[in-house]
Amino acid sequence: MIYHRPQSIDEALALKSSLGQRARFIAGGTDLVVGIRKGRTTVDSFVDLSRVPGLAGLTRAGDTLRIGAACTHAQLEREGITALAQACETVGGPQIRNMGTLGGQVGTASPAGDVSVALIALDAVVELASVRGTRSMPLADFFVGPGRTSLEPDEMVLSVTVPTNRKSVFYKIGKRDAVAISVVVAAASVSPSGDVAVGLGCVAPVPFRPRKSEQMLRGHPLTSERIDAAAAMAASEVSPISDHRGGATYRRAMVETLTRRLLRTLADTPYEGLLSVAMSHS
């Protein structure tokens, strides 16, 4: 095994291009190292991104925030985007949040990825890079299955961009507050023009957007009746499984409950309060 420590993004991409699939990028290591120890992942060589300049930057431009792939969850807890901050502060414990990065979060493509759910509910766009250039796509389209993404073998996640002018909120149901994989997780946001986006986790093979439910809300005020109908529609769109953390029936019921609760919170919160939607995590 070989351990590479590239000094630039270009050098990292050139290494990945020449080394191929079993060369793995490592940054926070919170998923990769566990996978190696459990024998789930075989790595021929590491390409260490933890000190590549320019990969951990946060850039505000207009109504957007561009988050570099090496930004940690701890950094994003403090960035004032409600759903994103709420999701980040429920991930792991303080130690994990100091290590785990945004690029790892989305690249791992866990259907239970709390932050991925918040990001798709913010209509985030992911930027991918390789020696062939960069490309961008909606983050919701980037996830193709459990642990599977649209990344080509020579590509890396470069950044995720989220709008800063949406009201948003996040809620997680877990067995305990910290270091626990979620049972059901949900997030929602609304744009200044009234477009609603919903993200759901642990209820489909990927972090999931209930498009029919979102469609029902498009162009309509968030009335109580419409919210109830959209929440019921969201529950009909998901495909949860039963496992030791929760049953499929329970998960589907919680999708309806959480979707309704989050949409009501958004409806009840004035835009002026958009950066400080208060929701308890109890």
Partner 1 sequence: MSESNALHPERVAMTLVLNGHSVSVEVDPRETLFDTLRERLRATGTKGACLGGECGSCTILLDGEPVTACLVMALQADGRAVDTVEGLAEGEQLSALQAAFVQAGAVQCGYCTPGLLVAATALLRKNPKPTEQDVRRGLAGNLCRCTGYGKIIEAVLNASQQGDAQGTQKSALRGKR
CA angle 114, 172, 98 (to 5 degrees): 45
In the structure encoding, which two tokens stand for residue 197, read together?
Answer: 């986006």
Residues in the chain: 282
Q: Is 11 in the site for partner 1 (CB under 8 A)?
A: yes
Q: Which is nearer to partner 1, 48 or 152 (CB)?
A: 48
137, 144, 179, 278: residue in contact with partner 1 (rule CB under 8 A):
179
Q: How many residues bind partner 1 (CB under 8 A)?
A: 33
Whether residue 189 contacts residue 167, with contact meaning beta carbons closer than 8 Å, is answered with: yes
- The 53-92 site mask, x for binding partner 1 (CB under 8 A), equals ---------------------x-----------------x
Q: Is 134 in the site for partner 1 (CB under 8 A)?
A: no
Tell me the window of 8-16, 59-67, 220-228, 244-252 that interacts with partner 1 (CB under 8 A): 8-16
Residue that the structure tokens 């590509």 belong to: 155
φ, ψ of residue 70 in degrees (nearest 5): -90, 5
- What does the alpha-carbon distance between residue 117 and residue 108 come to, in Å, rounded to a whole number? 13
Q: Is 131 in the site for partner 1 (CB under 8 A)?
A: no
Residues 6+ apart with CB under 8 A from 139: 106, 116, 119, 120, 124, 125, 126, 160
Q: Which is nearer to partner 1, 2 or 137 (CB)?
A: 2
Q: Is 1 in the site for partner 1 (CB under 8 A)?
A: yes
Least distance in angstroms from the C-beta of 134 to partner 1: 21
- What does the alpha-carbon distance between residue 216 and residue 104 come to, in Å, rounded to a whole number? 33
80, 94, 138, 194: residue in contact with partner 1 (rule CB under 8 A):
94
State the CB neighbour count (10 A cutoff) for residue 204.
20
Region for residue 179 given its phi and psi (left: phi exceeds 0; alpha: psi -120 to 50; beta: otherwise): left
CA angle 198, 203, 190 (to 5 degrees): 5
Q: Is 7 in the site for partner 1 (CB under 8 A)?
A: yes
Q: Which is nearer to partner 1, 48 or 228 (CB)?
A: 48
Q: Which is nearer to partner 1, 92 or 147 (CB)?
A: 92
Q: Which of residues 18-37 bind partner 1 (CB under 8 A)?
A: 18, 26, 28-30, 33-34, 37
Tell me the window of 95-103, 200-208, 218-226, 264-272 that interacts with partner 1 (CB under 8 A): 95-103
Least distance in angstroms from the C-beta of 92 to partner 1: 7
State the CB neighbour count (10 A cutoff) for residue 245.
18
Would you state the torsion angle of the CA atoms of residues 38, 42, 45, 50, taken in this order, to the nearest 10 degrees?
-40
What are the residues binding partner 1 (CB under 8 A)? 1-7, 11, 14-15, 18, 26, 28-30, 33-34, 37-38, 46, 48, 50, 74, 92-96, 98-99, 177-179
